[in-house]
Structure 1
Amino acid sequence: MQRARLLRRSGHALLALLATIATLILGTGTAFAQIPIGQPMTGRMTHYNDRGYGACGTQIDPTTQDLVAVSAAWWTAANPNNDQLCAGISVEVSYGGKTITVPVRDKCPSCASTHIDLSETAFQQLAPLGTGLVRDITWKFVGSGGGDPDPAPPLPAPAGRTGRSGATTAPAPDA
């Protein structure tokens, strides 16, 4: 009897510990990092053409729409549909003397924090599709109006993931 009671107490304590650990790891679904609006970053770009639902919960077609998938490191909500990135945030990208602004509509789970994955139509405005991976681009998050509304203080880029998950037609970036 005492042994059963001890096992039951141990089981409850273990469940409470696991729940605490899960909360710390997964968070509560609120933002952990501020999106650095207006802070220029140097990185790389690739392109993709996977049609379907983007991380913001809307239908996307990267072969006909200008849009961008940004690193999973920038997504902060447990449900990406509710993420601040889906609330009118765009990315302004500059390369080769050209600049475009495209809305964030998708997540690139395998992109490093300064690597963006553009739709084919957006990528073609800056470089030929055959280029695949383009290094040394400049990009920044901007508000839906394209400007730098009340820029956030500079933050270091979060540690991102490297490699590709097959979501792009471009070659895999260097690790």
Structure 2
Amino acid sequence: MRELRRARYAVTALVAAVTGIAIGTGTASADVPIGRPMNGKMTYYTDQGYGACGTPIDATSQDLVAIPASWWTSPNPNNDPLCKGVSVEVSYNGRTIRVPVKDKCPSCDPSHIDLSRPAFQKLAPLDRGVINGITWKFVR
């Protein structure tokens, strides 16, 4: 029985090697749907410290965006494809901005993005708080 398991593992490893599939990993380009428009909502936040990408953030003074946790694919967010030069282009009410992905929003559903305060203000007044009817997409 042990030899049968070894043989199955060897065949699986061989098939993975021949087809170019890395067991347990994905490709960065496949994980982030660059250029695909999505409709959703935006809110803003004011966190300071370190973002999910491992870099210092100040959501009170910098333009940045926190992306829903469901879009993150790496166990270590610092190594996630979203942290490799990906930005988000957000359009609302005739205005469009582009902001870098720097953080994760654990409470956001897949179509909800959390902008830093200054980024949000470029699209709507802060007293609106939650804005539905935005269009956003990942860009490089």
TM-score, normalising length: structure 1: 0.64
* Structure 2 Cα separation of the partners of residues 31 and 79 of structure 1: 14
Name which of 89, 92, 107 aligns with 1:95.
92
Deviations 1:30-52 (A, max 9, x none): 34862110000000000000101
Query: Which residue of structure 2 aligns with residue 40 of structure 1?
Result: 37
Structure 1 residue ranges, 4+ long, deviating more than 6 angstroms after superposition: none
Quick check: which one's strand share is greater? 2
CA gap 1:84/1:129 in 2 versus in 1, 3 angstroms: same
Query: Which residue of structure 1 aligns with residue 11 of structure 2?
Result: none
Query: Which residue of structure 1 aligns with residue 53 of structure 2?
Result: 56
Equivalent residues, number: 116
Pair 1:69-2:69 in alignment: no
Alpha-carbon RMSD: 1.4
Q: Which has the larger radius of gyration?
A: 1
Query: Which residue of structure 2 aligns with residue 125 of structure 1?
Result: 122
Q: CA deviation at 1:102?
A: 0.1
Query: Which residue of structure 2 aligns with residue 81 of structure 1?
Result: 78
**Runs of at least 5 residues in structure 1 that lack an aligned partner in the other structure:** 1-26, 144-175
Secondary structure in structure 2 of the residue aligned to 1:88: coil
Query: Which residue of structure 1 aligns with residue 15 of structure 2?
Result: none
